Amino acid sequence: MTGTLHVPVMLETVLQMLGPRAGGVYLDATVGLGGHAEAILAHSGTRVVGLDVDPAALDRTRVRLAPFGSRATIVEAPYGRLEAVLANLQLERLAGALFDLGVSSLQLDTPERGFSFRHDAPLDMRFAPAGPTAAQWLAEVTEEDLVRVLRELGEEPRARRVARALVRARDREPLVTTGQVRRIVAAALGHPHGRIDPATRTFQAIRMATNRELEHLAAALEAAARRLEPGARLVVIAFHSLEDRISKHTLRRLSGRCVCPPATSACSCRPELLLELVTRRPLQPTDEEVAVNPRARSARLRVAQRRAW
């Protein structure tokens, strides 16, 4: 495995927005390698509850946060189960919550996990060891569903061409490695004309579909928002336009704004005055941050604050 220094995305902005204080309990719903959690715990008297589904990341995070003792509680669970986790810990209120969405540097830089096409490796892509691999998903998905996934999750403008090429290839032989998929996509789309490899969108789409990444996001954001103390903040970092759209719509709806499509004759989204938007537009990393951590370049950070009861 390639060793990589973990650089938390937009760390200073996250700390500024959360404002960690002594006695506060903070949720890191996607704790990953623990960079944000460590920075929150560095403020005296804070406590962090961190959730993640990746056992390899959690092993490292537990070691990293061990110096903070009982102030750090790490739980192997998806953010879709955060209500049950907090109830089990008997935590009624949070002083802040963070969702840092997307794939981690550990996952990308571990070739055998199949997240990156830079290495020819098994086509796995799972955040957690349970459930179907990307290879199994790709073997079973219909061509029409594959077109839809590539178009929606990968934002691939030539989704049908890529889907047709992948389906034809799997009819000849099972697609079980990242190298196979990359070669098929490259043959379908041609050589790259810019910095982005033509397989990037396809790999993103397959990864998001394999892990069902968007399935519980809106509900988890709402669950975290309902646990916030008055004045406490919810911070969301998204790297994909759909993640950001779901986050934006959820925060807007919980701040009393209708998010129904413009052509809708009557509102059905049930807006609620639970939050107040802190950021009207998403914040982005500085050029200096991107220079240090190029993977931060697509990050978009949104913040909302719990209204007083």
Integer Cα distance of 102 and 82 in angstroms = 17
Average pLDDT over residues 134-154: 96
- Residue 81: the pLDDT is 94
Identify the CA nearest to 122 among candidates 111, 130, 108, 131. Answer: 111
Domain boundary, last residue among 211, 226, 246: 211
To 10 degrees, the CA torsion angle through 71, 72, 73, 77?
A: 150
Radius of gyration for the alpha carbons in the chain, expressed in angstroms and rounded: 20
261/184 same-domain check: no
**Residue 12 reports pLDDT greater than 50:** yes
Q: In which residue are the tokens 């949104």 written? A: 302
Other CB atoms closer than 10 Å to residue 291's CB: what's the count? 11
The tokens describing 304, both together, are 């909302």
**Do 300 and 225 share a structural domain?**
yes
Q: What is the mean pLDDT of the chain?
A: 91
Q: How many domains does the chain have?
A: 2
d(CA 296, CA 289): 7
- Cα(239)–Cα(27) distance, integer angstroms: 20
| Distance in angstroms (rounded) separating the CA atoms of residues 77 and 200 | 28
CATH of the domain at 126: 1.10.150.170
DSSP string computed for 165-208:
HHHHHHHHS---BHHHHHHHHHHHH-S-SSSS-TTHHHHHHHHH
Last residue in a domain, options 181, 211, 241: 211
The per-residue b/e assignment along 15-44, b for 16 or more CB within 10 angstroms, e otherwise, is: bebbebeeebbbbbbbbbbbbbbbbbbeee
CA 75 to chain CA centroid, Å, is: 17
Classify strands 72-76 and 228-238 as parallel, antiparallel or unpaired: unpaired
Contact 231, 305 (CB under 8 A): yes
Query: Are 185 and 221 in a shared domain?
Result: no
Identify whether 206 is part of a domain. yes
Which residues form the domain of 53? 11-102+214-306
Give the pLDDT mean for 129-137: 92
Residue 227 has pLDDT above 90, yes or no: yes
Q: Same structural domain for residues 183 and 267?
A: no
pLDDT over 90 for what percent of the chain? 74
Q: According to the model, what pLDDT value does residue 4 have?
A: 44
Q: How many helices (H) and strands (E) does the chain have?
A: 13, 7
Its pTM surpasses 0.85:
yes
pLDDT band at 309 (very low <50, low <70, confident <90, very high): low
Q: What is the structure's pLDDT at 111?
A: 67
Mean pLDDT confidence for 167-187: 95
